[in-house]
Amino acid sequence: MIEVRFHEDLYDGFAVDEAVKAYGDFLSAELAREEQAWIVRFTPAPHAIEEGIDAWTLASELANYALGKTIERSRMPEDALALASGGEEA
């Protein structure tokens, strides 16, 4: 099992969740919240390993996706961000 820590000062929690969902076909994951970080613990799916996608590649891709989504969300207007987060418009 691989553990990837996403510091809250650098990553948006919704972005981390979206990254796990995006790569859900390639891994089995659990998310946790610890002090100042979101934690993703995962195991690559057998077919991912068979296709040559190792755990470290998945960890890198997961982090890259989460960072991209964090940047995308940081540029959203506040009302759009609330809607994207499942809330109501401000």
CATH hierarchy code of domain 2-77: 3.30.70
CA dist 69 → 42, 46, 47, 50, 90 (Å): 20, 27, 26, 28, 21
Tell me the domain boundaries of the chain: 2-77
Q: What's the predicted TM-score (pTM) here?
A: 0.81
Per-residue model confidence as pLDDT tens digits over 49-68: 999 999 999 999 999 999 99
Q: What is the pLDDT of residue 85?
A: 67
Per-residue model confidence as pLDDT tens digits over 13-46: 999 999 999 999 999 999 999 999 999 999 999 9
